[in-house]
Structure 1
Amino acid sequence: MARWDGTDTAGPRWEERAADDDARWFRTLLHLGFFLLLGSSLTRFLMRHTGEGIAPWVVSLAAVLAVLYVAEPAVAGDRVRQSAWLGACSAVWVALVFLAPSFAWCSIPLFYLGLRRLRPPAAACYIGLLTVVSVTAQLRLAGRLEFDILLGPPAVAAICVAVFVRMDRQSARQRELIADLVRTRRELAATERREGTLAERQRLSMEIHDTLAQGLSSQQMLLQAADRTWRTDPDTAHRHVRAATAIAEHNLTEARRFVHDLAPADLASGGGLDKALRTLARRESTDGLAVRCHVEGVPARRLPDRVQSALLRIAQGALANVREHADARTAALTLTYLDDQVVLDVADDGRGFDPAALRDGDGDGMRGHGLPAIRTRTRQLGGTLTVESAPGEGTVLSAAVPLDAAAPAGD
């Protein structure tokens, strides 16, 4: 039975890897943008202020800022060290901006660093402080009030914050969806395991009922008959004991094959379903019950092993019901090959029963596992089960399996 044991998490892991790749690309672009802005700002300053005395200071502070920025991985995982590192970067940047206002553009990567490292209230204050510094430095350089300088940096800061918040929320939702998917898959795997366990238990109960329990019941009846006739008719008693011994030997073979999940012993001996049903009829024929087997028609193609096995188990289960409940003298197995289906009929001349007493569904109202197991096997093959009976008039059980539904996947 193919089922997901919960170890197959390729989907969620792929989603997680995709999210990690997106974050990695974003960080790479952010770092690249920072150094491009830092380099362009420094180049612009040197082209216009080469001979000024502040040039060495600007170059030194730009180098310090670059070194601090590169040192970010060294403070990862420690909130205090991260805060100190961010404060140092910001202080150097503020000094650069007041010396050379063109370095104000480097505030954009610093916005993202603050949003990633600080809590929302502290991040808002941090971004506001950087924005005020940028506006002040630009106004001081311009020497007059200009609305583009007054409104530009706040607009850029607002856009950066909006983009970051949007990305952060999307990332959080994606993580929640991945967690939900993993949890759902685990729950589905647990459900499939439970259903598989229940199905396997049902299969085992049907197998035990149709093989071991049936054989033990036959042995019990034969040994009881031998005990009753031991003194009056020793030959008949010995015949009953020999028959019980043969059934025990067959049961032992069935048990071994059952443990190894192989085909029924009658099918494993070769000859197909026809021969297996005839062997079953001979074995089930005792002094009190005569079982005959008829095969009509010729199969259009070889039946799959699972279909042959299921039909043989249905016949075994039906004969077990006949022997235990019907008090019949004769029973007949009829296997009919039609153009579009194969039909197995099991008829007896026993005392019968009222089919209306059966509950709807799986026949839970019947004693034991016989009819429910037969009905389940038939449904698993895509077939239908019909039971015709009346008190005192015997019973006819008919299991019809469509050949198309029963076709093997690989035959």
Structure 2
Amino acid sequence: MNSAALPLTPTSRTLTWCLHLLVVALLALAAVRAVTDGRPYAAVIVAVTVVCALVYAAGPLLPSVQRSRRAAVWWLACVCASWLVLLALTPDGIWVAFPLYFLQLHLLPRRTGLAAVAVTALASIAAFAAHQSSFSVAFAIGPALGAAVAVAVVWGYQALYRESDQRRQLIEELTATRADLAAAQHTAGVLAERERLAREIHDTLAQGLSSIQLLLRAAERALPQAPDNAARYVDQARLAAVDNLAEARRFVAALAPPSLDGSTLAGALERLCAGTHDGLTARFHLLGTPVPLPTAHEVALLRIAQSALANTVRHADAGTADLTLSYLDGHAGLEVVDDGSGFDPDRLPLPDPEFGGYGLSAMRARTRALGGTFTLTSAPGRGTTLTARLPLTPSARTEPEVRP
């Protein structure tokens, strides 16, 4: 790789202008010394220096030289040819060889550039020896040292530029990766929030509306024979609607569920069991000494209990259900056992937007999100046992769940 392939940077532009000034200054020095020293062919030397300056100036000014590598090489050949004429006329032309080294290394491929620098150095040494009519090792030191310095500077600059370009590309890749990661995190957050909202709607609004529907159906069946029972069912449906409306308002306001406001989790679960569940007798039990739980844990256990009892009423055809809240072995556990018809857990139907079926997956997701375990045991004709266990001390790996 040669530096011609490198785009201009502020540093490279500064170096380019320094090179231009150096060429002009050295050509002017050759012309002035020819005149002041009274050298033969002084007028010719001045004319050749002017031609060299004009040929050199054509490079930065001609667009074709800037755009085409072939044109740039031809321009460099013309500059070198005019320099050889100047070198043949005056030994002061040897100083112009130094900026020529940079031009050759800049415009030519690496091997070709090295060969051109070597030829230029040999031509300088030979011309200076011819003008002095003698040769010594000292004549070769200047041009050779200048060539070595030029090669070292150009190659060092190319290495620094490549390293800088690699860092720039790495920064761009890191920036793009950060943007992709941020987009992925945003997408994951949106999906997690959608899942959370689906769980909340299923465990609150959907279950409440389902309870209202069951109570109104019970009232409809009891109305012809037992108007008092029908009125009681309607009153319970009204209370359920009030609670459901409160759930909806709190859900929108992202506060804790109303069932937990001003009471303990055990109290909320006991009230849940005391409510009418369309022929299901729900009994509450407490094991162990209650300890304060994070709000997310209490919300999750309450929602799981609500969903489990609703599923029992709708699907289990059970007469009794025992709900047990336990504080044992560093865990808060919730167990719901019914004596219903049971089912095969391996043959559950897929969730359906019209008929539901999201309850079990929502319970499992809630439990796992808080670092707990969820188990389900059931068989046809043998009832169902559902257990959720959450650690009393949240672990570092617990996924935070936004409060509803």
**Do both share a fold (TM > 0.5)?**
yes
Q: Tell me what 1:318 maps to.
A: 308
- 1:219 is matched with which residue: 203, 212, 224? 212
Q: Tell me what 2:286 maps to.
A: 295
Q: Quick one: distance in 1 between partners of 2:34 and 2:364?
A: 94
Quote how far apart the aligned CAs of 1:400 are. 1.0
Quote how far apart the aligned CAs of 1:333 are. 2.5
Q: Quick one: distance in 2 between partners of 1:276 and 1:87?
A: 92
Is 1:141 the equivalent of 2:128?
yes
Secondary structure of 1:404's counterpart equals: coil
Q: Tell me what 1:15 maps to.
A: none
Is 1:249 the equivalent of 2:280?
no
Quote how far apart the aligned CAs of 1:368 are. 0.9
Is 1:398 the equivalent of 2:398?
no
Q: Tell me what 2:98 maps to.
A: 105
CA contact (8 A) 2:341 2:381 kept: yes
Q: Quick one: distance in 2 between partners of 1:305 and 1:145?
A: 96
Larger Rg: 2
CA deviation string 1:217-241 (max 9, x = no partner): 1111111111111222111111111
CA contact (8 A) 2:334 2:388 kept: yes
Identity of aligned residues (%): 40
Is 1:270 the equivalent of 2:259?
no
CA contact (8 A) 2:278 2:313 kept: no
- 2:368 is matched with which residue: 362, 368, 379? 379
Q: Tell me what 2:274 maps to.
A: 282
Q: Quick one: distance in 2 between partners of 1:79 and 1:296?
A: 91
Q: Quick one: distance in 1 between partners of 2:161 and 2:154?
A: 10
- Cα 1:308–1:68 change in 2 (3 A) is farther
CA deviation string 1:250-285 (max 9, x = no partner): 222222332343322223x222423332333334x3
- Cα 1:211–1:79 change in 2 (3 A) is farther
Is 1:352 the equivalent of 2:338?
no
Is 1:341 the equivalent of 2:334?
no
Q: Tell me what 1:10 maps to.
A: none
Q: Superposition pairs for residues 141-160 of structure 1, below 5 Å? A: 141-143=128-130
Q: Tell me what 1:5 maps to.
A: none
Quote how far apart the aligned CAs of 1:178 are. 5.0
CA contact (8 A) 1:38 1:103 kept: no
- Cα 1:170–1:62 change in 2 (3 A) is farther
Q: Quick one: distance in 1 between partners of 2:208 and 2:330?
A: 34
- 1:206 is matched with which residue: 199, 203, 224? 199
Q: Quick one: distance in 1 between partners of 2:81 and 2:146?
A: 15
The one-letter amino acid of 1:314's match is I
Q: Tell me what 1:17 maps to.
A: none
CA contact (8 A) 1:358 1:365 kept: no
Q: Quick one: distance in 1 between partners of 2:388 and 2:217?
A: 33
- Cα 1:81–1:155 change in 2 (3 A) is closer
CA deviation string 1:363-402 (max 9, x = no partner): 9699811211111111111111122334333322111111
- Cα 1:141–1:384 change in 2 (3 A) is same
The one-letter amino acid of 1:392's match is G
The one-letter amino acid of 2:327's match is Y
Is 1:331 the equivalent of 2:321?
yes
- Cα 1:140–1:186 change in 2 (3 A) is same
In the superposition, the TM-score normalised over structure 1's length comes to 0.69
Q: Tell me what 1:388 maps to.
A: 377
Q: Quick one: distance in 2 between partners of 1:79 and 1:260?
A: 69
In the superposition, the TM-score normalised over structure 2's length comes to 0.70
Secondary structure of 1:353's counterpart equals: coil
Q: Quick one: distance in 2 between partners of 1:49 and 1:341?
A: 102
CA contact (8 A) 2:101 2:147 kept: no
Aligned-residue CA RMSD in angstroms? 4.8
Quote how far apart the aligned CAs of 1:335 are. 1.8
The one-letter amino acid of 2:338's match is D
The one-letter amino acid of 1:142's match is A
CA contact (8 A) 1:114 1:127 kept: no
- Cα 1:145–1:152 change in 2 (3 A) is farther
CA contact (8 A) 1:364 1:372 kept: no
CA contact (8 A) 1:352 1:391 kept: yes
Gaps of 5+ in 1: 1-19
- Cα 1:365–1:230 change in 2 (3 A) is closer
- Cα 1:61–1:293 change in 2 (3 A) is farther
Quote how far apart the aligned CAs of 1:314 are. 1.4
Q: Quick one: distance in 2 between partners of 1:336 and 1:231?
A: 44
- Cα 1:82–1:371 change in 2 (3 A) is closer
Q: Quick one: distance in 1 between partners of 2:191 and 2:209?
A: 25
Is 1:237 the equivalent of 2:230?
yes
